[in-house]
Chain A
Amino acid sequence: MPLTGAVVVRSLLVRGMLAGLAAGVAAFVFAYLFGEPGVNGGIAFEERGMPGHGGEELVSRGVQSTVGLLVGVLVYAVAIGGILALVYAATRGRVGPTGPRPAALVLAAVGFTVVVLVPFLKYPGNPPGSSDDGSIGQRTGLYLVMLLFSVLVATLATALGSNLAGRLGTWNATIVAVVAYLVVVTIGGALLPAVNETPDGFPATVLYDFRVAALGVHVVLWSVLGLVFGALVERGARRELGVIAAS
């Protein structure tokens, strides 16, 4: 055997993280252009309320909004790219489209929905100055519960879909799986407590623009990730099959 599973997994991991790098750069540009106004708007509101709050800065705003933002988004994107590659390695040839490129793209779209969109709809991101410092523990806990619940339900729905595929056909089984995921996650989300602590007078446009931008950052990130990873695994799969065929 010229290519063992371990070699394939390793090369998939490298490709996923490379795709994550590209996705991170694109997401940073979007975040810098469209997200920073919301961050600054939040900080402006915060400082109106308590002047001198930002007196002693550990990291300056100039660094936070450029290098800090870049590093944060890059590390996130590379890590997500690696995890996406591992999920791709586990699912390829088992669930989803058979071609590597469509499979990668579908996986990225599902990942965005399950890991970002659904948790965001319940517990959206907030600009600085719009949350209660003291509730960070509670908010983080609820966010993680929603996130893990969404991932768990998506996993179960995928298993349900592949079980039903033989009886209903792939198309109908996929519809059942997606509907099952949406119904369960909607009920679960509705049962979790709401977080309602936006301060009086916080500018609604800042809040709205920030949240749209935060969602946009993820749309850019996961789109580029899916497209680049798809292109890389398509090439890799050709070589992999070529090597096996040639040996």
Chain B
Amino acid sequence: MSEERIFVGILVMAAATYLPRVLPMLLLRRPIRNLRLLAFFEYVPFAVIAAMTFPDILSSTANLPSALVGAGIALLLAWLRNSLFTVALGGMAGVMLTELIQSLL
């Protein structure tokens, strides 16, 4: 990757992130009333985050078994409504423990 590519990329990202944040602040004084649009905005993050997580999470560690253990623990902890921090620590611990056991076998 060239340095120029990365810097232009960062600029493009920053602009595309700032635009939706700043436009309503500068242009609007009244809330949205279109109920479908409101629902769409509410649902989009769930759809995006889900698609970003699966299946990529399965190739995020050294091997599939450790990723499966980590993902399973994270899912369980999240289902039980643990905090962001706890869920992450639990998933990471599961991965480390699995890979540690694998290295001993």
Real complex partners, A and B?
Answer: no
Contact residues of A with B, CB < 8 Å? Answer: none
Contact residues of B with A, CB < 8 Å? Answer: none
